[in-house]
Structure 1
Amino acid sequence: MSDAKPPAWLKPINKAVVVVQKLGITTGPVRVLTVPGRKSGRPRSTPATPFTLGGAVYVVGGHPRADWVLNARAAGAGTVTRGRASQRVAFVELSAEQARPVLRAFPAKVPRGVGFFKRSGLVQRGTADEFEALAGRCAVFRLDAAPVSNAQSGDKPL
Structure 2
Amino acid sequence: MSERIRPPWWLKPLNKVLIASMRLGLPTFGREMPMVLTVVGRKSGKPRSTPITPMIVDGQRYVVGGFPGADWVRNARANPVATLTRNRRDERVHMTEMSVEEARPLLRQFPVLVPTGVEFMKNAGLVSSDDAPEEYEALAGRCAVFRFDPLE
Considering the TM-score relative to the shorter chain, is it more than 0.5? Answer: yes
Identical columns (%)? 55
**Shift, 1:4, TM fit:** 3.0
Q: Is the 8 A contact 1:26 1:82 kept in 2?
A: no
Runs of 4+ in 1 over 4 A off after TM superposition: none
Per-residue deviation, residues 3-31 of structure 1 (Å, max 9, x unmatched): 53100010000011111112122424211
Paired position in structure 2 for 1:156: none
Structure 2 CA distance for partners of 1:26 and 1:87, relative to 1, 3 Å: farther
For residue 131 of structure 1, what is the aligned residue in structure 2? 136
Q: Is the 8 A contact 2:127 2:135 kept in 1?
A: yes
Quick one: distance in 2 between partners of 1:53 and 1:10?
27
Q: How many angstroms apart in 2 are the aligned matches of 1:142 and 1:27?
A: 23
Q: Number of aligned pairs?
A: 146
Paired AA for residue 137 in structure 2 = E
Query: Quick check: 81-90 or 131-140, which moved more?
Result: 81-90
Q: Which residue of 2 aligns with 1:75?
A: 79
CA shift for structure 1 position 112: 1.8
52 and 135 in structure 1: CA distance in 2 versus 1, 3 angstrom threshold = same
Q: Describe the shift of the 1:3–1:76 C-alpha distance in structure 2 as closer, same or farther (beyond 3 A).
A: closer
From 138, 147, 151, the counterpart of 1:142:
147
Tell me what 2:119 maps to. 115
Question: What is the aligned partner in structure 2 of residue 54 from structure 1?
Answer: 58
Give the alignment of 1:1-158 within 5 angstroms. Answer: 4-28=5-29, 29-126=33-130, 127-147=132-152
Say which is worse superposed, 20-29 or 95-104, in terms of deviation: 20-29
| Counterpart contact for 2:5–2:69, Cα < 8 Å | no
Aligned Cα root-mean-square deviation (Å): 1.3
TM-score by length of structure 1 reads 0.88
Paired residues of 1:59 and 1:140 also in contact (CA < 8 A): yes
Partners of 1:21 and 1:141 lie apart in 2 by 21
TM-score (norm 2): 0.92
Residues 3 and 67 of structure 1: CA distance in aligned 2, closer, same or farther (over 3 Å): closer
Unaligned runs of 5+ in 2: none
Residues 30-76 of structure 1: CA deviation (Å, up to 9, x unaligned): 11000010011110000010010011110000111100000011111
Deviations 1:91-124 (A, max 9, x none): 0000000000000000111112111111111100
